[in-house]
Every structure is written in structure tokens, then in C-alpha cells.
Structure 1
Amino acid sequence: MAQGAEASRTVILTVDDDPGVSRAVARDLRRRYGEAYRIVRAESSQSALEALRELKLRGDLVAVILADYRMPQMNGIEFLEQALDVYPAARRVLLTAYADTNAAIDAINVVDLDHYLLKPWDPPEEKLYPVLDDLLEAWRSSDHRPVPITKVVGHRWSARSSGVREFLARNQVPYRWYSCDEPEGRRLLAAAGQDEQRLPLVVTADGTALVEPEDPELADRVGLATTPTADFYDLVVIGGGPAGLGAAVYGASEGLRTVLVERTATGGQAGQSSRIENYLGFPDGVSGSQLTERARRQAAKFGAEILTAREVTGLEVSGAARTVRFSDGSAVAAHCVILATGVTYRQLAAPGVEDLTGCGVFYGSALTEAAACQGHDVYIVGGANSAGQAAMHLAKGAKSVTLLVRGVSLSDSMSHYLIQQITDAPNISVRTGTVVEAAHGSDHLEQLTLRDVESGHTELVDAQWMFVFIGAAPLTDWLGGTVLRDDRGFIVAGPDLTADGKPPADWELDRPPYHLETNVPGVFVAGDARAESAKRVASAVGEGAMAVMLVHRYLEQS
């Protein structure tokens, strides 16, 4: 708790337009912190801002601000953005319901949100006080100075600007976005000695200016781990999706010295999902980023190293060691390797699409772009669960969402619960038997040519936003010549290697391959990259855990 004279003048402020909730928050705060902090309660965002300005004039300190998300006139994010100008060092907490968790996650990039709490928070001893204890400790440790933040200056319709924002958001790095057309954006460009010809400009929290940075440089400069701390490990996990994170959690928690290598951001395709509603233990659903960020923290807690923006280019067998080579020429070795490389969305082969990718055309959910779709007509290409989840998310703010499906029905590829939700959504329409023939636009997407598969009839429609989910391709090309793959590139393992009752021709051990073991002993596969895998989050996590069990068995017999 705060000490001395400072304690009596330090404030925890809470604002909620529901009087009952407002009183409940204040009651719980006073019960725990009332002796050391002054609890200030407001029932509107405007009165809360007035209170903050009065506190500022009196020289009082504000340690934590708790704001409800759903408030009239000004929502919680907008309020916290204004409160940031008055007390930039105060820790910021958003109170939200499950339905608004995506807004809370987006707030990380708008107001440098420190935490969000789901209502109800009972019991406070478990769900409220531990969070505030940590935030108050962090506030005291910061000496109450403003928290530096990364700034990104770019063009609205720049593919690389969009890529940088997505990279930072998916890696949970808070940043502020400035258009090169707005005054503050121009001031930052001038300060860095740059113009609009070379964008994006990234100014890190320590003031370093990065011009058109690639992901590895950006990761290194914003504090993400990119270099392994050792040359040799018990286990190298390649890929940071659900399977890789599951393997890292179980590997590290069971005593294996574990390093996870991810080329972009932990979470994989699941991390880009706006809402996963059929994952065990989350009856109200959970966003992919929220789920995978919890898994990342869990793996780190057990001691797993997590390397970001490292591209793996090769796998070599060196006696008992398995050597993983990176694109920069460096390498790391281990007793065992788990391949959890996952899949990537297939590219849409239609004229104009490639040139407009990142400029209105996006693969996957691209959640950083969702806010810009407010009030616009959005097209989604694909008929599987990921497309349905994106449609439901974007429909919250878009004028209309149109699902373009090549097949004759959604029921062949989408879960029943999602089909029901889409059917009930008033601003979502489904066009089956329809494909994108071409995309048109100068510096950004402006129109689409759609073709009816059966009749061949084409139609030109206005469109600024298109999100593509048209199947997945495994990220396994770099394994050619080392690990056996099927004709589609998926990794063959376990029983599939011994379909004729015999192990592979190059198999050197007396035993047959373990269930998830590839044709290279000690190299395992888990998740979507495995041939005939279930392509579900739950099964990927399970395979990651199972692979670690088999790693232990391999090590015991080696």
C-alpha cells in the first residue's frame, strides 16, 4: 500500500453509469484499499473527467482508473483516452462483459490498457484484488511518470503499415497509430527527418526511429525475445499456435529445457479468431488472442523461452542432436523437436487481389482493421468456421457483411452453432455458389467482380473491405528432403508411416515410430501441420501435450 502523506492524497477512481454497479465497485475498493487510498466514485464519464481535472489542480495523485465499457455519451475506451491526457501515469482498467472482450483487447492499442476485468468479479479476493495489487505496485515502481509507448506513423492504405500494426497487436505490444495525414503524424515524421515516401515510421518507447522495419528488427527493438539464450535444449518447438503453445507449456512444466520459435506471433490462425465458442471450458466463448495470450504467459511462467520473428529454414540430424537452422544463418540444437508449424490461408488467385493485399484485401481476420469497417459493406470469402467467426465479429459494426461461398451450402464446412448465428444476424447475407473473379482499385480496394459458379453470370459490386478464408496450406516447404510429407505438404507421422505394417525405409530403430513421431526419430508433429489432423483448437492443444509425453518416452529410451 502507499505510505505516508502521499497515501492520503492518492486516488483510485471508478466510473460506471449503473448506480448499483458503481456502488458495488466502490464498496469492494474501500474494503481493501480504503485505509491507504482515497476512493472516488463517478456515475458518468463527464463527471469523472471533471473529478480528474479537479484532482489535478489540487495536486492529488491518481494511481488507478477503473471505467465501465458501456456508458452513454462516451464509452469506457473514449473516457480512458481523455483521462490519459490528465493522468498519463495512472493505471487503466476496463470493466466489461464477455460480449465486449474484443473491444477491451482493441483498447490495448488505443489507451495502453493495463487490464480488463470481466463482470461480475466475485469473489473480489480472487478476481479483483490480485489485479489491483499488481497495478498499484507497478504504479509505485514507475515513480508516477508517463508510460512510454511505441508510435506508428503510416498511410491508411499501406500494406506494410497494416502489417506492422497487426504484428504489434498480435504480440500484445501497445502502440499509438498516427496517420501521415494528421498533424501529430507529420510532426513525428519531421522529428525523425523522414517524409511520406518511406512508411511506416515506428518510434519505439525509448525514442528510436525505425523506417520501414522488417519484423525481426521491430521485434528486437520493442523488447520481444528474438535470440535463444543457449545453443542446446531438451526440446525445440517450432510454431506458436495452440499445438506449439500446448507443447511448450507441458514441456517446460515437466522439466524439459524448452524453447518455442515463432515466425510472426504466438497464436497462429487461432490467435486471429475473433471468437471461439466451442472450446472446452469457455461456455460464453473466448477470443483467440485472449486464449493464446493466456497460454503464452503460462508457458513463460514455467520457464519456456519464446522467440518471436524467427524464421526456420532447415532441420538437420547430427547424431543424437536435431539442429534447427534460421534464415539469418544461426542455429539451435536439441534432443527433440516438435513441429507445430500450423497452416496459412491459401492465396486467392484472382486478378488484382495480390496488388491490393493489405490495402483492403486481407487474409484472416486482421482484427486491427475491424474498427475501420464501421458502417461499411464488408465481403468475406470462405465458408468454414474461421470465416463465420469473422462475419459475426465484423457484423457488430459493419453496415453489411456478405459471405461468398463457392459451395452450395454452409453445412458442409461450418459448425451448426455458427450457421444459426449467421442466419439470425440481420446484416449478414450468404451468397453460395459465388466466387471472386477480380478485385479492382488504384491504391485500395474499390470494387469486386463476382461470378456465379453455375450460370457464369458476373456482377460488379462496390467494396472497400474483403477478408479471405479459403482453406489452408501447411507451412512445411522448408522440411523438404528431411521429414516425410504427403502430396499436399502435410507431415506424415506415426501409424500413417507404417500403413503397410513396416517402418519407413530409412528408419534406423528397432521399434516402430511413436504415434506423433515423423520418419526422423526424435522429431514429432502436432496440430494442423500433421496429415489427417482434426483442424480444431482442442485437438491441437491435446496433440501438443501428447507430443511431449512421447518426447519423454523417446529420451528415456535413447
Structure 2
Amino acid sequence: MLLTVEDDPAVSRAIARDLRRRYNSDHRVVRSESGADALEVLRELTLRGEATALILADYRMPGMNGIDFLEQAMDIVPQAKRVLLTAYADTDAAIRAVNDVDLDHYLVKPWDPPEEQLYPVLDELLDRWARDSRLGYDGIKLLGHQWSAETQQLKEFLASNQVPYQHLRGAEADAYQRTAGVADDELPALGLSDGVVLRRPGLRELAQRLGLSTHAGSPLYDLVVIGSGPAGLGAAVYGASEGLRTLLVDKVGVGGQAARSSRIENYLGFPQGVSGAELAQRAREQAVRFDVELVTAAAAVDVVAQGEGRVVKFDDGHEVTAHAVIIATGVWWTRLPAEGAEELSGRGVYYGAVAHEAHGCKGEDVYIVGAANSAGQAALHFANYANKVIMLVRGPDLRRRMSEYLVGRIENDPRIEVRTWTEVAATEGDGRLERILLTDTRSSVTETVPASRLFVFIGAEPPTAWLGEEFARDQRGFVLTGPALLDEDGRPPRNWPLARNPYHLESSVPGVFVAGDVRAESVKRVASAVGEGAMAVTLVHRYLEAT
């Protein structure tokens, strides 16, 4: 349902006419002429099970202005997108409402023509609502134990690829399992919308069933980008927009580690912040718009120089050749060096945290290991759901590695407790996390506390073991590029075959560039990763022009 609230009958009819002309095939347009009446309409239709996708409310209405109405409507239909209709003179109030009542957008009347001033805004809001809403859901159903590492892997794959699903639990899960004839040893299983049930599927099989590309459609490309985090997405978008035939490959899904962030608040252009998943989805849509070819569930196992080509080999035996390659595989969280942590990974011990995990933490105490921005963002997000969030920090405070805006919010949140000088010595449990042993690093005193969920945000490890010896790396495995490859006299490595020195983001293999967190000495921020992706494409053009 699309609900309009406007006290002027003529304007109300005009709004409804514009909405029906565009959205009548998928949405029912309902009009109301006062805030009080509109609240009653929302209550009645919500009780009937109807989903409200979007509300447009005029700011100046007698009895209840649009901002007050939208604030009350949020309690009834929290998933609905909210738009305030204003005159030009009221834009200051509308801007305040963006922050005060989580307004999704405001529109200044009139919006003629609607094809330019109205529909693009509403299209985006309705697309976001459709991705987030599960009301009336009849798509993919996931069967699997909550504390299964395999179940967790499937959930992360579906979330990374923006594939909606419903994780069935309790009686509903038992009934579906009986109907589908799935044995306990065949879990986890996925019920697809066409009735097919996949039992313990591999990621490549699942990707193929979902219609995702798992193999490149051509043997030759101008540019192959390995890794689809912010750096890889940035490189793919810029490369394709500048005329390069571009292939973007990733072994999991779009967004990389950034997609698991519940909220990114210091990224330029998003004053209210943006979830990592939403940012990844926007970038994916942008890449598709520029005809980037996307391949998922494909793990690169080698990059080899063959003449003027660069051959990328995959774990399934396929390979493609490109004129240039950009490696943007990012980093992953360092494994927790605590006894029992590896055995309980995916069973209460998690690395990073995607937003959907928070919903399962209602009423629980959640532990977070780490003191950088990602840990702080996760703590604030989980605090909206969990009974309490306990941050475990090895050092004396949060300010050494965390941005001040996050530190201030954490310190002012009564649901978050910060335990300094503390590290995890061990994790324990029978098939799932049940207890953690905490050690005071100053006194060496250890205590045991009950715990069901431990989220780890420590360190960064580059996934570069698959690269050959010809790729120079530092002691931690980060790939060296440009000036970092030169010796004290400014000379390139002995095996460097060209007369010129390596370009700034070029690896020790000419024509293979590196962008983002996987590059040695890079700035570990989303904005800098996107910038490096764009810069790498500029250097690719310079390389191609010279060869």
C-alpha cells in the first residue's frame, strides 16, 4: 500500500493520480485527509495483514502536522518509507525531521514533471523497502541449526549477494522439514521458490541455482578485477565506465568486509550514514549499469603473465586472459588466538558481523573483541537488540584506534560496557559457545563468564597465499606496489622486466595492479579503498597505452 495524507482534497487527488499512473500495477494507493484518520487507516490495514510500503504526508495539516503524524506512524508500520511533502518555506523543518524522526526523504511541492522530480525518488525508496521487507515472504527458506557453521556460511553467502531468505525455526521449521522430506543429516537445506530443495549445497551449486554467474562469459577481457569490496567495485565501475571490457570476480559476494558493517557514518555523501550492505548494493547496481560482468563463487588461484596477457586461473579449472588485472581482495579478521575458538567458529564465535545477526541477539549479552571503528559500529548496532554489549579491549581505552565520534556515542550508551586491559583466553561449550575465559592483562587474573555470542574484530590478514612467488609481499603478506618495490637506490627489483619503474599501485608483475586494504601501507578506510580502485584504473590506461 502507498498512503497519502493531504488535507487539501484537490492536492490529495493530484498526488493519488500521479502515484496510480506509475505504481498502480504493484501497489494500492490509499488517500487520507488528516493525520488522525490516516493513523486509523494504518492500524486497520496492518491488522488485516496489509503491508505499507510508503507514506507521503503533507507538512502543514490542521490538528497534526506531517512530522508528528510520521513519527506516530513509525510505531505502527516501522518498515514503511516516510516522505514529507513541503512548501519551499518549510524546507528547514523538513531537514530537521530527517534527523529527528528518521525521515527518508522530503519533497518540495510542486514536482512537475513527476518523471524527473517525483518518480526517481519514490522508485529508490520502494526498491529499498522491497529488499528489506519480509512481509508476505514466499521466497527462499533456510533450514539449519542456528549454531551450525555450515548454516552460517549459507546465511553469509545469501546476504552478501543480496538474496532474500527466511531462516525457519521452531515448529515452522519442523513442519517444513517434514514436508520436504529432509533428514537431519541433510541439513542445512534450502527450499527455493520453485519447490526445489537443496541439501547441504556448496556455494557454487547454490549460486548456479540462484541464477548467479559462476563462470566468465568470455575468455578475453580488457580488465579483470579480483575482489568485489569497495576497492574492487570502484575499479570495476570506473573501468567499465571508461570503455574497458571488465570482469569482476569474487568467491563469496559483493561488498567484501565493508558489506558486513552495520553502519558507515563517515563516508562522504551519506549524512545519516549507510549500512555496508546498502552501499554494496548501490555499487553493484552501478556496476551492472555500466555492463560490468559479475562472477561469484569463483576463487582465483593464480595470476600468470603470458606475453602481453595476464591469465587469471580459478579453482574450478577455468581461466581468463586480460590485458590488465587489479587485485582488490581486501583483508579478513585475524583469527582469535584463544583456546577453543577455532572449534566454535560459526557456532557462537563469529568474525565480523552482518546486520542480520543482531536480530537473533534479543535479550542476550553480546561480547565484542576489538577496539577499532568496525568494533565500535557493531557495538552500537547490537546495543539496539541485545540486553547488553560488552566490548573487550586489550589496551587502556578506545581512543587509540577508534574515531572520536564513535567513542563518544559508546561512552554515552548505557547498554554498552567497555572492559579494558582484557583479552579472551579461551572459549568453551558443547557444540556451541557457552562460556568465555577472560584474563586481565595487568594482573593475569582469569574469570569465566557465560556467553553465547562472541564477535571478533581484531587485526587484518591479507588473503594473498594464492599468489605466486613473483608477487612481492611484506612480512605480513600485504602486496608491495610502486615505490615500496624500489631498493634504497631507487631501483626496481631484479626480475622487473621493463625499463620504467613500477607505477604507484603496480605490483612486481607488470600489468597487475593492487588496490585497497590488501595493498601494503594502504589506508584502511572505505573512501580510500574506492579512491585506490579509481586510481588503479587510471594507471591501467597508462599501462595499456605504453604496451
TM bucket by the smaller chain? 0.7 to 0.9
Structure 2 partner of 1:556: 545
Which of 486, 499, 503 is the aligned partner of 1:498? Answer: 486
In the TM superposition, residue 360 of structure 1 has moved relative to its aligned partner by 1.6
Which of 504, 516, 535 is the aligned partner of 1:546? Answer: 535
Which of 256, 271, 292 is the aligned partner of 2:244? Answer: 256
In the TM superposition, residue 160 of structure 1 has moved relative to its aligned partner by 1.3
- Aligned-partner SS, 2:455: strand
- Distance in structure 2 (CA, Å) of the matches to 1:21 and 1:314: 65
Q: Aligned runs of 1:109-258 on 2, under 5 Å?
A: 118-121=104-107, 125=114, 128-130=118-120, 149-179=139-169, 181-183=170-172, 185-258=173-246
Q: Which amino acid aligns with 1:462?
A: P
- Distance in structure 2 (CA, Å) of the matches to 1:429 and 1:169: 29
- Aligned-partner SS, 2:358: helix
CA contact (8 A) 1:160 1:200 kept: yes
Normalization by structure 1: what TM-score?
0.82
1:43 aligns with 2:39: yes
- Aligned-partner SS, 1:380: strand
Structure 1 residues 446 and 515: alpha-carbon distance in aligned structure 2, compared to 1, 3 A threshold:
same
CA contact (8 A) 1:249 1:298 kept: yes
Deviations 1:470-494 (A, max 9, x none): 1110011101313111111000000
- Distance in structure 1 (CA, Å) of the matches to 2:273 and 2:446: 38
5+ long unaligned stretches in structure 2: 32-37, 56-69, 85-94, 128-135
5+ long unaligned stretches in structure 1: 1-11, 54-61, 78-92, 102-115, 138-145
- Distance in structure 1 (CA, Å) of the matches to 2:187 and 2:117: 42
Q: Kindly, what percent of the aligned residue pairs are identical?
A: 49
Q: Which amino acid aligns with 2:463?
A: L
- Distance in structure 1 (CA, Å) of the matches to 2:276 and 2:404: 19
In the TM superposition, residue 223 of structure 1 has moved relative to its aligned partner by 1.8
Structure 2 partner of 1:76: 78
CA contact (8 A) 1:205 1:222 kept: no
In the TM superposition, residue 21 of structure 1 has moved relative to its aligned partner by 11
- Aligned-partner SS, 1:43: helix
In the TM superposition, residue 128 of structure 1 has moved relative to its aligned partner by 4.7
- Distance in structure 2 (CA, Å) of the matches to 1:526 and 1:196: 44
Structure 2 partner of 1:473: 461
In the TM superposition, residue 543 of structure 1 has moved relative to its aligned partner by 0.5
- Aligned-partner SS, 1:529: coil
- Distance in structure 1 (CA, Å) of the matches to 2:253 and 2:471: 24
CA contact (8 A) 1:29 1:39 kept: no
CA contact (8 A) 1:22 1:43 kept: no
Deviations 1:174-203 (A, max 9, x none): 112212x323x2333233321222211101
- Aligned-partner SS, 2:236: helix
In the TM superposition, residue 326 of structure 1 has moved relative to its aligned partner by 0.7
Structure 1 residues 550 and 381: alpha-carbon distance in aligned structure 2, compared to 1, 3 A threshold:
same
Q: Aligned runs of 1:19-58 on 2, under 5 Å?
A: 29-33=15-19, 39-41=29-31, 42-44=38-40, 45-49=42-46
CA contact (8 A) 1:14 1:26 kept: no
In the TM superposition, residue 447 of structure 1 has moved relative to its aligned partner by 1.4
Q: Which amino acid aligns with 1:502?
A: R
- Distance in structure 1 (CA, Å) of the matches to 2:417 and 2:7: 38
CA contact (8 A) 1:69 1:94 kept: no
Structure 2 partner of 1:140: none
Structure 1 residues 445 and 483: alpha-carbon distance in aligned structure 2, compared to 1, 3 A threshold:
same
Deviations 1:274-317 (A, max 9, x none): 11111112222111111121111111100111111111111111
Structure 2 partner of 1:287: 275
Structure 1 residues 278 and 13: alpha-carbon distance in aligned structure 2, compared to 1, 3 A threshold:
closer
CA contact (8 A) 1:381 1:467 kept: yes
Deviates more, 1:438-447 or 1:529-538: 438-447
- Distance in structure 1 (CA, Å) of the matches to 2:382 and 2:395: 22
CA contact (8 A) 2:220 2:322 kept: yes
- Distance in structure 2 (CA, Å) of the matches to 1:22 and 1:473: 60
CA contact (8 A) 1:361 1:465 kept: yes
- Distance in structure 1 (CA, Å) of the matches to 2:188 and 2:126: 35
In the TM superposition, residue 259 of structure 1 has moved relative to its aligned partner by 0.4
Structure 1 residues 48 and 236: alpha-carbon distance in aligned structure 2, compared to 1, 3 A threshold:
same
- Distance in structure 1 (CA, Å) of the matches to 2:137 and 2:428: 43
In the TM superposition, residue 541 of structure 1 has moved relative to its aligned partner by 0.6
Which of 418, 421, 427 is the aligned partner of 2:409? Answer: 421
Q: Which amino acid aligns with 1:48?
A: L
- Distance in structure 1 (CA, Å) of the matches to 2:220 and 2:376: 43
- Aligned-partner SS, 2:186: coil
CA RMSD of aligned residues (A): 3.1
In the TM superposition, residue 162 of structure 1 has moved relative to its aligned partner by 2.0
CA contact (8 A) 2:236 2:247 kept: yes
- Distance in structure 2 (CA, Å) of the matches to 1:333 and 1:498: 28
- Distance in structure 2 (CA, Å) of the matches to 1:281 and 1:428: 28
CA contact (8 A) 2:396 2:420 kept: yes
CA contact (8 A) 2:367 2:454 kept: yes
1:522 aligns with 2:526: no
Normalization by structure 2: what TM-score?
0.84
CA contact (8 A) 1:148 1:206 kept: no
How many residue pairs end up in the alignment? 496
- Distance in structure 1 (CA, Å) of the matches to 2:260 and 2:404: 21
- Distance in structure 1 (CA, Å) of the matches to 2:148 and 2:347: 6
Structure 2 partner of 1:359: 347
CA contact (8 A) 2:238 2:537 kept: yes
- Distance in structure 2 (CA, Å) of the matches to 1:25 and 1:373: 45
Deviations 1:378-411 (A, max 9, x none): 1100011110010011111211111101112211
